[in-house]
Chains A and B, each alone.
Chain A
Amino acid sequence: MSIVTVQLGQCGNQIGQEVFNAVCSDIHGKHGLCSKKENESYQDTCKERFFSEEKAGVPVARAVLVDMEPKVISQTLAVAARSGYWKYNDRSHFCQKQGSGNNWANGYCVHGPKHKDEIMNLVQKEAEKCDRLSGFVTIMSMAGGTGSGLGAFVTQCLRDAFPASFILNHVIWPYGTGEVIVQNYNSILTLSHLYRSSDALLVHENDVVHKICAQLLNIKQISFRDVNQVIAHQLGSVFQPVYTAEGALHYSRNPLGVLMETLVPHPEFKMLGLRNIPQMPENSLAYSTFSWPGLIKHLRQMLIANATMEEGIDWQVRAPCPGSSIPSRHPTSKPLHFNTSIANLVILRGKDTHSADIGSFQDPALYTSWLSPQDAFNLWKTPRAFNKYEKSAALVSNSQFLLKPLDKLVGKAWNMFASKAYIHQYTKHGIEEDDFLDSFTALEQVTSSYATL
């Protein structure tokens, strides 16, 4: 089954290109560490999932590129073609000239309706090329105007046009201090709208990825390219082929469907965080050995202590003992030390996955009481190593990972809204104060729901 990716805005297009790169270079790598048959099956599944075959030539990414200004798309197309391993379809892109001006209202109310038909036509064409469509992944940032505003509009259109397909929004959370001054407004408007139409939001925070580049990868002068490559690696570790059931003979056919089923049991809880281990500079890989017990232990602690990477984990945090009374939690009084989960998914790739013991992830103390630990926790595996890591583990978590960032974001946006700063820029394109209030209400609701887990 195939996934169609919709790349929206500068961020979405820059990341999308790195994702296809990562996935392609993974299947061409010689570090599969598995049988030839296994490797071939992996490559075939990956190709069907992300690429369509062109008669003569390199695989063509199943993607639609959308931006309101032309520079990024032309760069993206050119860089992809230069790789020699894959490319984009020359016609699967839509762009305009004037940009969205970092204005969510401009993206959503003006560009969206104006260009809906053309954009959806391109999506339809890509969807038709798939034998079987698993669903859509949109890549966008929340801070700007196109990815955020137009992205929210396109997500709605996707939902209307493809009611039976899964939609996953891959959303980039901006740096806390400034990329864009109105980023908090754009973010709350985006999140509240996406929540209505999409199945799940998979979030990457720029601050977190930046720290990974600095501390784990030792990059001195971090560029957006570095950040995007880490994100692409982490996404690849989730979406590359895996066996989703013990004893399965084929790689999972419906990657998005299974992901949603396992992780989003309730529509009020759609925010997914992603953690990956190990992450290290490429030239250190040769000198490192990993053990599954070590990796799993770290990953579990990263989950419960809400750590963003494998360094600086707070090992003091422990799961609450069974039987202890859990006091009612008010959002402002809870110290948020222990990260409660609704559902978790662990993906293991590489050597000897059969020996990995993930019992510690099935501890009921990690979860809310709504699902049995057997339902709340899922494990996917493949013996095929990913992207030069002999062993690697990914965690996709529906938990309180994003509670603090969300709370902070809403707080900052509210602070600005109270002074009415910049509101005139939105009202002139059709977003009124009431629309802001609706978004705030929706997100306070989500925050409260996650806080009282």
Chain B
Amino acid sequence: VAVGQCGNQVGCRFWDLALREHAAVNKKGIYDEALSSFFRNVDTRNGGDGRDISKGKICSLKARALLIDMEEGVVNEILQGPLRDVFDSKQLITDVSGSGNNWAVGHKLYGCQYRENIVEKLRKTAEHCDCLQCFFIIHSMGGGTGSGLGTFVLNLLEDEFPEVYRFVTSVYPSGEDDVITSPYNSVLAMKELNEHADCVLPIENESLFDIVNKIQQMVNSGKLGSIVKQNSLVTSSASSTKTVQEKPFDAMNNIIANLLLNLTSSARFEGSLNMDLNEISMNLVPFPRLHYLVSSLTPLYTLADVNVPARRLDQMFSDAFSRDHQLIQADPKHSLYLACALLVRGNVQISDLRRNIERLKPSLNFVSWNREGWKTGLCSVPPVGHSHSLLALANNTCVKPTFMELKDRFMRLYKKKAHLHHYLHIDGMEQSCFSEAISSLSDLIEEYNELDATKSGPGIDPARLKIAV
């Protein structure tokens, strides 16, 4: 479910890259299990929306998606672009005037107005699934639609589909965000994420920007003996011959799209140690509210070398833990790990994985009750254009600074009651919404504080049960 401008722009990149990935693997054009995780196969020969074809040749692929925006621009562009046949009108919900960067407008006003419509469309998409395991929500936190209506949808999903996992990819605003009210919107949205999401993958634009620049530098430098292949983390299928992106955020959004593809790769494709989405939530969320996962993707690009010596493979693992590969401004190495997951794709075996875990472990701080807290997965199918790749997901206290800064920015506005009236005059909004939201965020920060306090402790193991012999 993509909500808002950011959500839909990222979503667009996601569907483009997903098609590219499946096209590279699925040579015979047969609709298989892997494809059915994200796409329906629809019989469109008689025009319009035919019935689903569950096996056999691919007829027409339709994304299992919902596109929601309170402005029409972004969604219209998608429907006029190369992806127009992947969606149908029953998957779209749009309005004209937008949410004015106001969480309350998105959550309370439009939420109320579009509730039934959204529920109905969600039910329809769910009915087309044999076995619905997970919802992905893609949105930004700083605006009005993605933030407000996006978290409204999150609530809805919990009410209507309580057994289905809710993974949320949230783009957090940076310090120099030009939306003045973004701290309000973000903190109000955080409360919803705290209470209703199973897993949140926070992303910061600054980090994406830095990564894009790094890749651009490598491509442009053309260092002697190292030619960067056209395919990198930021390449679209459309621009396989050019390295310049057409739209300013495409490169950054491709990174998020790749994150989601890698996250779901082991659920879609075979491997010697499968890692499903419910396993991610099970292993990386030790306490219900601590469900914020810092992610990093490596390699960012591949060199044209065909041979990949072990050294280069090991470099990929080292990079995954370095500060400049994280998708938020954080340094997990100097904070406390509660849990860590490594999902490897391509020709990498268990011994490579183990060797690198042994090598990197000493430089990482793990909480005392989870000293060997690693979850690993091996998927045989590499991403397009790479021979192997690694996605690292960390439940680490390094998210704390991001949340603390958010809180600070919120308080600077809130103390002066700046712009509050825009929110409070919306039906259903009260002062208590704000105080509850900041309280929820403060509690979360406090939980991370308490864990950080244990970092330097002696870590004495608790006494075992004594059995009478």
A interface residue numbers (CB < 8 A to B)? 10, 14, 69-72, 75, 96-103, 145, 175-182, 210, 213-214, 219-225, 227, 410-412, 414-416, 418-422, 424-425, 440-441, 444-445, 448, 452
Contacts and interface: CB of A to CB of B under 8 A. Distances in A.
Contact of B465 (A98, A419, A441): A441
A223 B274 contact: no
A421 B370 contact: yes
Contacts of B349: 221-224
A448 B467 contact: yes
Interface stretch (B111-119, B149-157, B250-258, B350-358): B350-358
B350 A421 contact: no
Given A210-B351, A415-B461, A418-B462, A182 B283 contact: yes
Contact of A410 (B350, B464, B466): B464
Given A102-B278, A179-B375, A181-B284, 19 more contacts: A10-B273, A10-B274, A98-B131, A98-B133, A98-B278, A101-B282, A102-B375, A177-B357, A178-B357, A178-B374, A210-B350, A210-B351, A220-B351, A224-B350, A411-B461, A414-B464, A419-B368, A421-B369, A448-B467
A182 to B, nearest CB: 6
Given A180-B283, A452-B469, A69 B276 contact: yes
Nearest to A330: B469
B464 A444 contact: yes
B26 interface: no
A237 to B, nearest CB: 23
A424 B287 contact: yes
B369 A415 contact: yes
Nearest to B372: A177
Interface string B116-147: 00000000000000110100000000000000
Interface string B360-400: 01000000111011111010000000000000000000000
Interface centre among A145, A221, A410, A414 (most CB of B within 10 A): A221
Nearest to A227: B350
Contacts of A420: 287
B281 interface: yes
Give 8 closest A-B pairs by Cβ, nearest first. A178-B374, A101-B278, A97-B131, A222-B351, A419-B369, A421-B286, A418-B462, A223-B349
B288 interface: yes
B339 interface: yes
A96 B368 CA distance: 36
Contacts of B373: 178, 181
B270 interface: yes
B285 interface: yes
Contact of A101 (B270, B276, B351, B462): B276
B197 to A, nearest CB: 15
A223 B465 contact: no
Interface string B70-95: 00000000000000000000000000
B342 to A, nearest CB: 9
Nearest to B459: A415
A416 B369 contact: yes
B44 interface: no
A100 B284 CA distance: 15
Interface of B: 33, 130-131, 133, 269-270, 272-274, 276, 278-279, 281-288, 338-339, 349-352, 354, 357-358, 361, 368-370, 372-376, 378, 461-462, 464-467, 469
A130 to B, nearest CB: 32
A14 B282 contact: no
Contacts, number: 136
Given A14-B272, A441-B467, A425 B369 contact: no
B166 to A, nearest CB: 14
Nearest to A179: B376
Contacts of B374: 177-179, 181
B354 A210 contact: yes
19 contacts: A71-B269, A71-B270, A72-B270, A72-B274, A97-B133, A98-B131, A99-B279, A102-B279, A145-B279, A145-B282, A177-B357, A178-B375, A180-B283, A181-B370, A182-B283, A223-B349, A227-B350, A414-B464, A418-B369
Contacts of B281: 101
Contacts of A425: 282, 285
A101 B286 CA distance: 14
Contacts of A102: 278-279, 282-283, 375
Contact of B282 (A70, A182, A220, A222): A182
Contact of B354 (A175, A220, A445): A175
A221 B378 CA distance: 14
A214 B272 CA distance: 19
A96 B278 CA distance: 14
B75 to A, nearest CB: 31
A90 B273 CA distance: 24
Contacts of B370: 181, 416, 421
Nearest to B369: A419
A11 to B, nearest CB: 9
B351 A99 contact: no
A452 to B, nearest CB: 6
A221 B350 CA distance: 8
Given A102-B283, A214-B351, A419-B369, A177 B375 contact: no
B153 to A, nearest CB: 22
Given A178-B357, A415-B369, A441-B465, A223 B279 contact: no
A284 B239 CA distance: 52
A235 B461 CA distance: 37
Contacts of B372: 176-178, 412
B462 A414 contact: yes
Contacts of A416: 369-370
Contacts of B350: 210, 222-224, 227
A328 to B, nearest CB: 9
B352 A221 contact: yes
A444 B354 contact: no
B131 A177 contact: no
A163 to B, nearest CB: 30
A69 B467 contact: no
A448 B469 CA distance: 7
A31 B400 CA distance: 64
B114 to A, nearest CB: 30
Nearest to A99: B276
A338 B79 CA distance: 74
A224 B272 contact: yes
Given A223-B350, A425-B285, A179 B273 contact: yes
A420 B369 CA distance: 9
Nearest to A426: B282
Contacts of A175: 354
Contact of A440 (B133, B276, B358, B465): B465
B165 to A, nearest CB: 9
Nearest to A332: B464
